[in-house]
Structure 1
């Protein structure tokens, strides 16, 4: 009877283990770069394409309502809008800040609106002006009291509805937005945009 050396037996076992692990390895993964404007829908969840298209459609609709031409005729300038709040009341996590940035971009793309910063952004800029008064060269200081006041505040919310049957699912998103006159709190525009997605079980 031949007894193998323990170290050689251990080496053989390790080699066998490596072969087994290699055979059981999962599929390889490949990564490719895609056009960010092209939708790649892996699920029926809200995605970046939804955010971009909804914001563009709603802002384009907003500037076609009577309030816009009436304001320009009365004031001789473009209205100034502040995005006050967009609330996510849907069943899933939606990056609201990304949606707000898409709304701001859509407003600028129309060439018919100005918008001003809100919340923490505005506070940070005010702090920057205070620091300029103390530390910046005099001919480069941005004076206080020169902010552009907003004429209108944009608010909105995102809701969702889910219907399932036999493994199939229909997910509907509804985005409602209001444009409110800061002067007298009148609603000058109400907009609604809906998205419906069907996920079929195969």
Structure 2
């Protein structure tokens, strides 16, 4: 898949997006960026003792390192999003029941969404992260189970998509970047991209 840039963004190199997330792809399209999706299998384990911010950046960097010897003039963009509540890091659920359990943990609480981003360009790695606070109202088991059955959110950290039903009915407010919760902090990303050659 290739997407042509607007004239505003022609100074930004072509992007290799190392993500199968349709949400990240849509965000880049909305930013009018020229990108191509290229996927590589990467072990997403991480050392014990890292903060949520360090975990997200660590995994994003590992994803970028998989492209180290294979890119030319493009910029490789990798990202990893995690959800953290009460000190517990929630990744992607393994089963629908696991997804229900995660959402029950999040129900009625404030959690953090952390996205780590890594840009690999001209043999240099530039890593950064963004953090958003998400306030969930108390949700019933019926609401949660219905969402998981309908949307099967096994590809989403914390078991939900903010743009889907559970986000629309369950989130009371957000402090921070909305797009960060979707999966890519576009505001910070754009600032980094326009300064790549400076």
TM range (shorter): 0.3 to 0.5
Which of these two proteins has the greater Rg computed from alpha carbons? 1
Give TM-score, length-normalised by structure 1: 0.32
